[in-house]
A and B are shown apart, each in its own frame.
Chain A
Amino acid sequence: NAGVTQTPKFRILKIGQSMTLQCTQDMNHNYMYWYRQDPGMGLKLIYYSVGAGITDKGEVPNGYNVSRSTTEDFPLRLELAAPSQTSVYFCASSSGTVYGYTFGSGTRLTVV
């Protein structure tokens, strides 16, 4: 039972490059989320999804895009990476907020 799996764990990007952060969950959760966490700070919601084909912006969506073609997968796309996107990215899923979120182990991204 893997839970929420994120890949890669670490990545260094050059300014202007693009990449996709992968997130997969095997718990058949309808809700999925992407957060970023800057050093010493709390988590900020980037995008979320309430089911396949449905996504919505969170608090800090600029510079990111998401898609949700299946229940299991919720990739996060970074276009034209900027140093301000250096952060740790966490994916999470839930069957409904009342049951709490299950988080992945995170992707540490550095943009240089």
Chain B
Amino acid sequence: LAKTTQPISMDSYEGQEVNITCSHNNIATNDYITWYQQFPSQGPRFIIQGYKTKVTNEVASLFIPADRKSSTLSLPRVSLSDTAVYYCLVGDPWGSARQLTFGSGTQLTVLP
């Protein structure tokens, strides 16, 4: 099972770009990397998913180096409403759900 390591917390200011890195040294060949966002009193929300190189959508970008042992979620020009916990998950999309574990995540606080 690929474990992940993320910073416990990060602070940023409005308008800045935020990069949250996740380490997953023992990622397997079939594993994908998925990021979720969770606001207080809400369920997590899917942000982005990727396998290698770079993936971009309307919300974020995901950068994955060639060795895939880490990944970086990039949030452009954050606002106060981006304050949330961000989770990095690694697992085989066609494997058992037991492999996908939510760690404690990264608490991002955006300051005015």
Contact = CB atoms under 8 A, between A and B. Distances in A.
Partners in one complex: yes
Chain B interface mostly: loop
Interface residues of B, number: 25
Contacts of B36: 100-101
Contacts of B75: none
B93 A96 contact: yes
Interface of B: 32, 34, 36, 41-46, 49, 87, 91-98, 100-105
A33 B43 CA distance: 12
A97 B105 contact: no
A98 B105 contact: no
A41 interface: yes
Interface of A: 4, 31, 33, 35, 40-45, 48, 56, 58-59, 90, 92, 96-106
14 contacts: A40-B104, A42-B101, A42-B103, A43-B102, A45-B97, A45-B101, A48-B97, A56-B97, A96-B94, A97-B93, A98-B49, A100-B34, A100-B46, A104-B43
